[in-house]
Structures are given as structure tokens and as C-alpha cells.
Structure 1
């Protein structure tokens, strides 16, 4: 088996470089993607946060082209929850989900898994102008092989309560003005809808949004799409209640960060997972009914012809050249080569 694998290495190198260069030239770091809603920095949302304990929040995902542009959370082994304003402009995703990499500056990380995004499911009621329903589910080319937790999603409208402590994590803009290489976390307090509407104006804060802030601490650009959650004893007990969405500035005491309220879009997320995920554990957790759909015809993916999906799959240099996906030697080699390329090209 190893002899046949070695014969593929030269071909592997060539196509790996081609695939990576193709992806890296497509888009720079995203900021202010959606409508500003009257001046909002819509791709906002870790100022003054702490470096997170490595692997504590293993469900945190970095969406990357040539570098990190948005966050996300792993809700199934083949599904990432993020913000709709992080969606790719051209319809067909042209980026990767990087899973279980705490520090982006480390050129070699054998635990990291980089998986192609192949389809984006955007909420049908999403508005770029108002940031309402700013939610997207990203389908991955294959289930992640990383040993990571998937995050539990809150479905109760009564949570989180005002003044509750919640945590947000991300690799976004820090107080220095640069994105963070290491995953950072910050604890903020949930603001009441009334106080948030008082800050932004009644019409700007809908029932699908929640606000949270703490003096001098906040999420910021590059954190978009990342999770806001009630922190448990470990990752399996964390419960995601929000998605980083938008806000006026970062860590502005007059304007809390605005998040998508997960309970308000839970049915949409459940429908996508039940219709399109192959992760049986996730399907069981979402209580999917075998052979049925709850999503309905109103939930549609971004335009992605089957032939385009196939072409995207062909560029997943992890999958196409693995002779035996259970072979530890081959998996270690592919991860090593990928990390070499990332270091060289970036």
C-alpha cells in the first residue's frame, strides 16, 4: 500500500499547489460584507479577551482562503454554522473550514483538519440591509477526521436571560488592530432587548437578534460567524445561543455587540442538518426523522450545480489521493504536506 502511495506523491504535490493557489487568489480577508444598517460595521463581531485554553472549544472553526476571514462552529461532523454575511460572493464556496487549529501561526499541526466547503445554505429571509436572519450553514466535502466536539444549540426562547454571562470565541481583530493567531475568548453580559433597542433604535434590533457586551470587551472584525454560548464545564456542556453578526464599532460602551439569536433560527438549522448531513450522531441529536424533511421548499442552497460541486470535490487534496483513509501513515503525510504548503504560500 505504501509503495503505491509513494508513486502518487509527485502528482500530489503538483495538484496541492494548484488547488491552494486557486483558493488563495479568490478573496482577501473579509470585512463589512453586508449592508451597514445605518452605519454598522456588519462584519464585526475579541477585544481585550484572553487566549483560550487549547482544545477547550474544539467546535470553533476558522473559515479561510489565504487567511482567516470568518468564524464558525461545528454543529455536525460535516456542517459548520456561520453568518450569512460571510457567504462567498460567487455562489459556489471557494474556501476551507479549518478545524482544531488553535494557533494559526503554527506551520505544522498534525491535529488540524482542513476541509473544503462545498455548499452554503443561507436563511431565505436574510437581509443584507438589516442584517436580519444573518445565518448560514456550510456543508463540508467530507466529515472532519479531527477528534473534536460538536456544539449543542439552544432551542429555548427563554435563554439566555438578560444579564446572563456568555462567552464568545474567535480569531478576529484585537486591541492592537490585527487579527489574532491564537483563539481568544471573552466573557460578556446579555443585554435586554429594551436596552439594546435604546442604543441602536427600535427598528434595527429584531426578535431574531440578541445583544451582549461588557465594558472594554467585545467581539470584532474577523469574529463574524463565530459562536456565542453559555459556557459549561467542558465543550460537550457548552450551549450556543448566538452567532457573531454586527455592531457599531468594537467594544463601544454605548453599543453592545449584536448576535443572531440561535433559538429564532433553530428550525432552519435543524432542517438543513436533517436534509443534508451524513453525521448520524448529529441527526440523532437534532431528532431528525428518517426519510423526511422539515426544511421545506423555502430553504434553498446558494446556486451550486452538481457539476460544480464535483469540480470542487476534485480539488480536495486530502480526499483524492488517499488510498486508504484509515491508514495513519498516509493521513499523517497529507497533513504534513498541507502544513508545508500553507507555510510556504502564506
Structure 2
């Protein structure tokens, strides 16, 4: 279930993963969720002559900043991307206030297109996102918590099957974090897995084309709120459960995220769970 990839931009928003053996980003399975259940989730759209084409997902982390995958922003400048709010039902057009222009894209300088290492970017919006009961931010997870074996939730508008169409309402999928050692063994020799990545696996279910850049969240028992632990990066071509999904581990990039927010020229401070 990968978030929002248009047919014209598949190669871009999945960083040509389909062109590589076995690889493609992906929700198959899961269930539709209620409006405003995850108010921090947004879409990214590529600006076209007719408006925009949805390409990826993202998460609001301050009123001025959205976090997404670096591969979603490859070869795109700020004037070619918009942030899409109020996107729960894509059959209903967004209001004018739901399309936010972008001022700056800060892609990780060490993003590796081939390995997908450092697959993370910060998008600074041109005007602050107004928080209300339907729109809000998600807090980040600081380093130190071992997530292995924990249940996390991936969100997206991606396809329900590999050759299917993008869905118009988002789905959620509860999945399990597995160790990097197991993930590395399952992917070998197709891909390397490092400590800045976070792998998940569910029997019979997976993310799919269109979910890239979207949130992977953990519910914190103490507060009953969600915290962002990952950004959807890639999975196996075909959207099957044969091999684990790979996400960018947000906690590994906290200093970098804070630096990008400080360098963006607008106010913003992420919250932490």
C-alpha cells in the first residue's frame, strides 16, 4: 500500500525500484481507517498543468515542516511539489486551503539511490499549516528504544495489489518490527540493510505502490498517542509478504531533522514521545 504514486511518476517516486530486481515500495491487506484518525498524515503532489498528481505520502512534524522519503523528491524542485491536506477521500476534491505550496526541499545529502540508505527529506511549506481537530502533527521517537517485536502501523493510499489502481481512501496496516539481522538475511543478496533502516513484516499483508514517504507509527501506551518511528522506503516487487518491508528509521536522524528545521528559515520544533 504505498502512498499516492501516479502512473506518470512511478519510476520517480519509487526511485526506479521497479527497474531493479525484486524491489518496489508497497498496502496490501489492512483496513480503511476513519477520517481524522491520523491527522498528521498528508500527501505530496507533483504540480502539473492540470493541477497536481499525487505521488507520495508524508507526516506533519511542525506547522511548517513535513517529513517524507528522499526518493519522493528526486529531480523535483520546490515549485513542482505541493502538500495535500484534507485528503481522506480522494473522490472528493480538496478545498483550496487543502493544497499547500512548498518553499524548500531538504533531501538528505547522503541519500543513496541504489541502496536507499538515508531515504529521508524535510519539506518546508510556503505558509504554515493550520492545526485543528482534523489536522495536526505527530511526535518523533528519540533513539534508544528497541522496537524489535513491537506492533507498528503503516498508513497509505497505495495499491491493494501490485497491478491494481490506487485507492481513494487511506488504509492502515498493523505490522511487526523484525530485527535487522533477520531482515538482512531475508533480503540477501539483493539489498544491504543498515542500522538507520527499520524492517517490518506481516503474513499475507504488505505496503504497496503509492505508500512511499508515508508514516510508520507506534502507539505509546503511556499517552495513547502515536509517535513516528519510520518513513516508508521500499519493499519487494509484486507487493507480497515474501520479504520484509524496509523503512527509514526516524530516530537515527533526529539531529539531522533538527538541523534542517533550524536551517529552513521558519519557526518549528518537533515534539517527542
Deviations 1:94-146 (A, max 9, x none): 02101132111113658x62101221101111100110000000111111125
**Structure 1: runs of 5+ lacking an equivalent:** 1-26, 287-346
Structure with larger Rg: 1
Q: Give yes or no for contact 1:218–1:250 (8 Å, CA) kept in 2.
A: no
5+ residue gaps, structure 2, are: 1-6, 47-51
In structure 2, the partner of 1:77 is 63
SS of 1:107 mapped into structure 2: coil
Deviations 1:206-234 (A, max 9, x none): 11111101011111111100010102479
The residue aligned with 2:217 is: 229
SS at match of 1:124: coil
Residues 114, 91 of structure 1: CA spacing in aligned structure 2 closer, same or farther, 3 A cutoff? Answer: closer
What residue number does 1:255 align with? Answer: 243
What's the offset of the Cα at 1:90? Answer: 4.4
TM-score scaled by structure 1?
0.68
Identify the residue that residue 21 of structure 2 maps to in structure 1.
39
Q: Is the 8 A contact 2:140 2:270 kept in 1?
A: no
Alpha-carbon RMSD = 2.7
Structure 1 residues 303-326: Cα deviation after superposition (integer angstroms, max 9, x where no partner): xxxxxxxxxxxxxxxxxxxxxxxx
- Counterpart position of 2:39: 58
Given that 2:140 and 2:271 are in contact with CA atoms closer than 8 Å, whether structure 1 keeps it comes out as no
Tell me if the contact between 1:76 and 1:277 (Cα under 8 Å) persists in the aligned partners: no
CA distance in 1, matches of 2:270, 2:164: 42
Q: Given that residues 15 and 74 in structure 2 are in contact (C-alpha distance below 8 angstroms), is that contact kept between their aligned partners in structure 1?
A: no
Q: Distance in 1 between matches of 2:137 and 2:223?
A: 8
Distance 1:83-1:71 versus aligned 2 partners, 3 A rule: same
Q: What residue in structure 2 maps to residue 101 of structure 1?
A: 87
Q: Which structure carries more helix by proportion?
A: 1
Q: Secondary structure at the match of 2:38?
A: coil
Question: Of 121, 133, 139, which residue of structure 2 is paired with 1:136?
Answer: 121
CA distance in structure 2 between the partners assigned to 1:31 and 1:169 by the alignment: 21
Relative contact order (alpha carbons < 8 A, sep ≥ 6): 1 or 2 greater? 2
Task: Verify the 8 A CA contact 1:48 1:186 in the aligned structure 2.
Answer: yes
